[in-house]
Amino acid sequence: MRIPLLIVGILLLVAGALVSAGVFSVSQQKQVAKLGPLEITSTEEKKPPATLGYILVGVGVVVLVIGAVAKK
């Protein structure tokens, strides 16, 4: 059970660091108006909050420590 905990901890650390750095973003297109063949759309990019990244890093550290301390 030790190796899977270490792997999950490292993955959570990496994911948390990327989220808190603002690497991930989601773009969403909305149709504002449609006048015959003419369409007006707006594109909005959203990023997950940095707090989520900090939480993932914290959980990753806890899981990594538990994996390091766990016995075979």
What confidence tens digit (pLDDT) does each residue in 18-72 have?
999 988 888 999 988 998 889 999 999 999 998 999 999 999 999 999 999 987 7
Percent of residues, the chain, with pLDDT higher than 70: 99
Which string of DSSP letters, residue by residue, matches 20-67?
Answer: HHT---EEEEEEEEEETTEEEEEEEEE---HHHHHHHHHHHHHHHHHH
pTM to 2 decimal places: 0.73
Domain boundaries, the chain: 2-69
